[in-house]
Amino acid sequence: MLQGWLGPAYALAGATFFALGNIAIVKASNAKGDKGATLSVLVTVVVSALIWLLFEGGTLPARDDPRLTEALAFFALAGILVMAIGRSLVFVSIRRLGATRASAVKRTNPFFSVLFATVLLGETINGLDATGMALIAAAFALMIRQSFRKSDPAHQSPPAIDYAWGVGAAACYASSYVARKFGLEALPLPAFGTMVSALVGLVAVAVVGIFVKRYRDNVRDIFRNATPATVAAGVAISLGQIFTFAALAHAQVMTVVMVGSLEIFISNVLAVAIFRTEQRAHWTTLLAGLLAASGAIAVASQ
């Protein structure tokens, strides 16, 4: 029984650390550069490497073992999908739609993840799963509706085609979950997989920086722009990624993604009740949080 809850528990821990990272990023709003996003990738490389060495034995199959080659390929693909492609599409989406609308569109990530997990991994959806997903879908619909109501007036009526950038970013992030799962099936070492993905992602950012000045400046000033808040964000996001990787080793992608989608609601609770970085939540946010939590429990109870 406990083993069955291990994956959802790791996913919830990952969501909590991502939420803490979100709060730290808000605290780092006056920091220069990318507010610690690139630093968080470097921290992830270091922390996951230490965990791999200390808790996963620090050993790997022989170089000619096909499992190692397959795992490295999928871990690397996950890093590229998130850091190079997905992140770039997010920036374009924000420029085209505005920050609020872009954030709302990016929240379609869990539903792409479920689709890809069903088609590519053959994961099945039972009645309890479907109920939980419906509740989470309703929660996201409320959040998206609220986001659109508070959108920047400068982006009131963007062309429909501009939403494709945000949808593409969500699809890339969702695809990375499937790539991670394939990698972990070949080599069940979550910390090692996190390290490889983050390292490849860091290299991808550096390569993109050759052509895009913003990325180049972020890599060059990775330590110069560091503040206590950006370091805290980096550590929290790093732990979030590691726990999420660990969750994928113990549960289906759709379970991990749906439980992990609680991140936004945990962020709201932390921001309002503990860190006081935001005003009291709107009633729709509270209702959405209740629906999402109920849905996540249903999905994790399979």
> How many CB atoms within 10 Å of residue 6?
14
60-97 pLDDT, tens digit per residue, is 988 888 999 999 999 999 999 987 788 778 778 767 76
221-258 pLDDT, tens digit per residue, is 888 878 888 888 888 888 998 999 999 998 889 889 88
Domain that holds residue 242: 2-125+159-247
Instruction: Decide which of 88 and 53 is more confident.
Output: 53
Return d(Cα 250, Cα 184) in angstroms, integer.
Answer: 10
Return d(Cα 222, Cα 76) in angstroms, integer.
Answer: 22
189-210 pLDDT, tens digit per residue, is 999 999 999 999 899 888 888 8
| Burial of residue 44 (number of CB atoms within 10 Å: 0-12, 13-18, 19+) | buried
**In percent, how much of the chain has pLDDT > 70?**
81
Asked if the structure places residue 146 within a domain, the reply is no
Asked if the structure places residue 65 within a domain, the reply is yes
- CA–chain centroid gap for 221, Å, is 24
Return d(Cα 244, Cα 232) in angstroms, integer.
Answer: 18
Q: What type of residue sits at position 226? A: A
Q: What type of residue sits at position 157? A: S
In this prediction, residue 257 carries a pLDDT of 86
Asked if the structure places residue 144 within a domain, the reply is no
Asked if the structure places residue 118 within a domain, the reply is yes
In this prediction, residue 102 carries a pLDDT of 66
In this prediction, residue 1 carries a pLDDT of 45
Sequence-distant contacts of 144-150: CB under 8 A, at least 24 apart: 144/104, 144/107, 145/284, 146/282, 146/284, 146/285, 146/288, 147/100, 147/101, 147/103, 147/104, 148/100, 148/101, 148/104, 150/100
- CA–chain centroid gap for 261, Å, is 9
In this prediction, residue 182 carries a pLDDT of 95
Asked if the structure places residue 166 within a domain, the reply is yes
Asked if pLDDT for residue 282 goes beyond 70, the answer is no
Number of domain units in the chain = 1
Asked if the structure places residue 37 within a domain, the reply is yes
Average pLDDT over every residue of 170-175: 89
Could you give the count of Cα atoms lying within 13 Å of 37 in the half-sphere of its Cβ?
Answer: 18
Asked if the structure places residue 101 within a domain, the reply is yes
Mean pLDDT of the chain, nearest integer: 81
Asked if the structure places residue 58 within a domain, the reply is yes
